[in-house]
Amino acid sequence: MSETIQTLLSEERRFAPSPEFAAQANANDPAIYERADADYEAWWKGWADQLDWFEPYHTVCEFKAPNAKWFLGGKLNAAYNCVDRHAERTPDKRAIVFEGEPGDSRTITYRELKDEVSRFANALMQLGVERGDRVCIYMPMVPELAIAMLACARIGAAHSVVFGGFSADSLQERTNDAQCKVIVTADGGWRRGSIVPLKRTVDEALEKGCPSVHKVIVLERIGPDATNPVAMVSGRDIWWSEIVSVQSTDCPCASMDSEDLLYILYTSGSTGKPKGITHTTGGYLTGTMATSKLALDLKDDDLHFCTADCGWVTGHSYIVYGPMACGATVLMYEGAPDTPEKDRFWRIIEKHRATILYTAPTAIRAFMKWGAEYPRRCDLSSLRLLGSVGEPINPEAWIWYQEEIGGGRCPVIDTWWQTETGAMMITPLPGITETKPGSATRTFPGISARIYNEEGMDITPADGSRHEVGGFLVLDRPWPSMTRGIFNDPDRFEKTYWSKFPGRYFAGDGAKLDEDGYFWLLGRVDDIMLVAGHNISTMEVESALVSHPAVAEAAVIGKTHELKGQAIAAFVILRSDHRHDGDPAHLVNEIKAHVAHKIGPIARPDDVFITAELPKTRSGKIMRRLLRDVAEGRALGDTTTLADPNVVASLKDKYESTE
Ligand code: 6R9
């Protein structure tokens, strides 16, 4: 059986959970894996039964690929489960601790959250929003963003959150695709000390044409500011404070079907128009709650700091729905990690005594590049668990995170999942799983993942005959939080995810499975390189590069090569604390030799370019496709999802000047 991806890098370090952590963990009995596997429907039912249902469901799951339904016949409300039931039982418990970029701070209890969500829900209804409608939310990371999401859920309208960094064109396209009736925005948000003029971008989008939108609600986040004029269109635009102040705090929760649409969230992908990924109510809440409890190990006294923006799925699932379904306290931070200084996250953790930190490899690599002096000057002793999501985390970044942020004391969970999967799919359970730096370890209980080869064969070794295999990552069993499809485009849904291996969910990622049955994510399969007949993952070469003491971050691509098919080109960012005397050509040679030594001569890069920045999506994922365009001298493709278009231009200059 042929392997589709060869794996070269080996990592020997192991970290077992400490007895102290295991003793207090929500999950510490390894038998739960077998229990969940033996009857996954019963496993998920056990979690669904921890939600409050208005009417019980009669069937756990109905699945006919690509369509799944969970908890059929059940009626519930997401806002009831995330807010009201806690407001009844623990009214004074903090729901949200907010830290604004300028340093303002607020705390909202569950009782207050219930009142605010109810008021805003009434405001939406006053503006004509009805059950089944869609509402676009284009806001900074302030508590009102979560309030708006939960208010939609309360009245049975679906939200479509658009990240506040997106342009007017992106906002227009998403608003029109979802046919949103109302846009909720703000006069602006703070980012690196500047005002992000959100309302002006909404105006621009509406001028370009969003015929379904008839009202715009504008939160006063910034307030009057001469540099940020806000024009209100009479009859269309209304201030948040004006409409909310006159509403009652009494607003019944709509009784929603388990399969009613909770939200749409657009993912860009590398080509084509954005896909409106849909999630429904009962299954999504079940999956996000279960993973929050077992993987994030959320407890009553935790303060959970997830650094994602609510414009991404991580914010939906692990700031709002998952933690709040558990009645936990979440920390929301509005701004940049380097404002006013590069220690901002550490200052926030010290100030609020955060216990869990959930962030992304792109951030961790930036912290490494900035140097350990920033976390070292803060008291991070409140932290007890660290999580990572968004990209493969290179082993060196994992170790740095564990040592410098976790003080060698906190377990690290590398969690693999997608907007489409709704909740974590592959992750350690921190009280059970021995971790290996760079591996997302095992599937969450109840989830089944397999490795397929290019020919569509399942090459996952049978239990007991363990050996390493590399190929395509496939999920072959339904799970409650799986997307119910692309909004209004069932054909594209089937084609994108279910046609490569008919009847199986293909995630688009490559992975290897090691002898212990641990998964190692190897990046998007479109990025895999074919060098002299060997399929090599970008992830492995990048990890070897990052293990060189001078390198903080690396992106690797396969560049067309006459003889080898593709040759490896690497773009690297150096650590700021790195001192290298003399000729940069020596450093480049040293780095090439280091990779050849770490994983073998086949992976030795032909080119290594030292750069200050890498092109990234707005959610922080490296855009290798653009680097390939640069390296192969092509005109640049679609760059609308690029965080900073100047990055590619400067790389291009650099590349051309060396050729
Ligand atoms: C949650 C989120 C999904 C894609 C996914 C994969 C990459 C996410 C990862 C990871 C390796 C991890 N990804 N987590 N790769 N290890 N722990 O990021 O959703 O924005 O939809 O991206 O991100 O390539 O397919 P989304």
Please state the three-class secondary structure of 547-579 as a single string: CCCCEEEEEEEEEEECCCEEEEEEEEEECCCCC
Residue 269: predicted pLDDT: 61
Tokens of 524: 């998007």
Average pLDDT over residues 514-521: 94
pLDDT value of position 368: 93
Give the percent of the chain with pLDDT over 90.
Answer: 84
Q: Is the pLDDT of residue 659 over 60?
A: no
Supply the pLDDT for residue 314.
Answer: 98
> Ligand 1 centroid to 496 CA: how many Å?
16
416 lines ligand 1 (CB under 6 A): yes
Q: Is 548 annotated as a binding residue?
A: yes
| Range from 215-219, 540-544, 581-585 carrying the lowest mean pLDDT | 581-585
Q: What is the pLDDT of residue 449?
A: 97
533 compared with 371, residue with greater pLDDT: 371
Q: Please tell me the predicted confidence (pLDDT) of residue 136.
A: 98
Are 134 and 264 in contact by the 8 Å Cβ rule? The answer is yes
Pocket of ligand 1 contains residue 414 by CB under 6 Å: yes
CA of 424 to the centre of ligand 1 (A): 10
3-state secondary structure 171-197: HHHHHHHHCCCEEEEECCEEECCEEEC
State the residue for tokens 């949200």: 96
497 lines ligand 1 (CB under 6 A): no
Residue 52 has pLDDT above 80, yes or no: yes
**Strand, coil or helix: 456:** coil
CA 221 to chain centre: 25
Q: 308 CA to middle of ligand 1, Å?
A: 13
pLDDT grade for 658, boundaries at 50, 70 and 90: low
Q: Which two tokens stand for residue 551?
A: 């390198």
> What pLDDT, on a 0 to 100 scale, did the predictor assign at position 630?
84
The residue whose CA has the least distance to atom 12 of ligand 1 is 416
In the structure, what pLDDT confidence band is assigned to residue 651 with cuts at 50, 70 and 90?
Answer: confident
Query: Which of 292, 306, 416 has most ligand 1 atoms within 8 Å of its beta carbon, as the pocket-test mutant?
Result: 416
Average pLDDT on 358-370 reads: 95
Closest-CA residue, ligand 1 atom 4, reads 418
Residue 332 bridge partners (DSSP): 98
pLDDT at 637 over 90: no
pLDDT at 656: 64
User: How would you write 216-254 as a 3-class SS string?
Assistant: EEEECCCCCCCCCCCCCCCCCEEEHHHHHHCCCCCCCCC
What is the mean pLDDT of the segment spanning 144-159?
A: 98
> Of residues 639 and 39, which shows the higher confidence score?
39
- pLDDT for residue 1 is more than 60: no
Q: Are strands 303-306 and 256-257 parallel, antiparallel or unpaired?
A: unpaired
Which atom of ligand 1 is nearest the CA belonging to 539?
A: 11
What is the pLDDT at residue 286?
98
Whether the CB-CB separation of 313 and 419 falls below 8 Å is answered with yes
Is residue 90 part of an annotated ligand binding site?
Answer: no
365 pLDDT more than 60? yes
**Percent over 70 (pLDDT), the chain:** 97
Which residues, 6 or more positions from 34, have their beta carbon under 8 angstroms from its beta carbon? none
For ligand 1, atom 15, which residue shows the shortest CA distance?
Answer: 391
Q: How far apart are CA 432 and CA 34, in angstroms?
A: 13
Please list the helix, strand and coil fractions of the chain in percent, rounded to the nearest 5, in that order: 35, 25, 45
* Ligand 1 atom closest to the CA of 521, numbered from 1: 11
Q: How far is CA 371 from CA 349, 367, 386, 528, in A?
A: 18, 6, 19, 31
Q: pTM value?
A: 0.94
The beta strands (E) that lie in 384-491 are given as: 385-388, 412-414, 449-452, 469-475, 485-486
* Best of 163, 310, 389, 539 for a ligand 1 pocket test (most atoms within 8 Å of beta carbon): 389
Residues 372-419 pLDDT 10s: 999 999 999 999 999 999 999 999 999 999 999 999 999 999 999 999
Find out whether 390 is annotated in a ligand binding site: yes
Q: 303, 260, 312, 251: which is closest to 282 by C-alpha?
A: 260
pLDDT at 632: 84
| Mean pLDDT, the chain, integer | 94
Identify whether the C-beta of residue 364 lies closer than 8 Å to the C-beta of residue 397. yes
- Which pLDDT score is estimated for 272? 72
Give yes or no for a contact between 505 and 476, defined as CB atoms under 8 angstroms apart: yes
Give the C-alpha separation, 156 to 334, whole Å: 27
Segment 566-598, tens digit of pLDDT: 999 999 999 987 877 668 889 999 999 999 999
Q: Is 415 in the pocket of ligand 1 (CB under 6 A)?
A: yes
Q: What is the pLDDT of residue 9?
A: 74
Nearest by Cα to 397 from 544, 527, 529: 544
Q: Is 417 annotated as a binding residue?
A: yes
Residue at token pair 């102040």 = 245
- 8 A C-beta contact, residue 595 and residue 544: yes
3-state secondary structure of 520: strand
pLDDT of residue 256: 98
Cα 215 from Cα 185, distance rounded (Å): 11
pLDDT category of residue 654 using cuts at 50, 70 and 90: low
**467-486: average pLDDT:** 96
Among 110-119, 142-151, 260-269, 353-362, which stretch is predicted with the lowest mean pLDDT?
A: 260-269
- Which amino acid residue places its CA nearest to atom 11 of ligand 1? 392
Query: Is 419 marked within a binding site?
Result: yes
pLDDT band at residue 244 under the 50/70/90 scheme: very high
Distance CA(400)–CA(397), nearest Å, equals 5
What is the atom index within ligand 1 of the atom nearest the CA of 420? 21
Three-point CA angle 433, 15, 444, nearest 5°:
20
Instruction: Provide CB contacts within 8 A for 563, sequence distance 6+.
Output: 532
pLDDT of residue 655: 66
How many Å lie between the centroid of ligand 1 and the Cα of residue 163? 17
Q: Give yes or no for residue 633 having a pLDDT over 90.
A: no
Answer yes or no: is pLDDT of 460 > 90. yes
Cα of 239 to ligand 1 centre, how many Å? 37
Q: Is 641 in the pocket of ligand 1 (CB under 6 A)?
A: no
Cα(385)–Cα(310) distance, rounded to whole angstroms? 21
Model pLDDT, residue 118: 98
> How do residues 6-44 score in pLDDT, each as one tens digit?
777 778 899 999 999 999 999 999 999 999 999 999 999
Buried b (16+ CB within 10 A) or exposed e, 52-62: ebeeebeebbe
Ligand 1 atom having least distance to the Cα of 427: 17
pLDDT at 657 over 70: no
Contact (Cβ atoms closer than 8 angstroms) between residue 412 and residue 435: yes
Dist. CA 396 → ligand 1 center (Å)? 19
Among 296, 436, 521, the mutation site with the greatest number of ligand 1 atoms within 8 A of its Cβ is: 521
Lowest pLDDT segment from 304-318, 388-402, 510-524, 526-540: 526-540
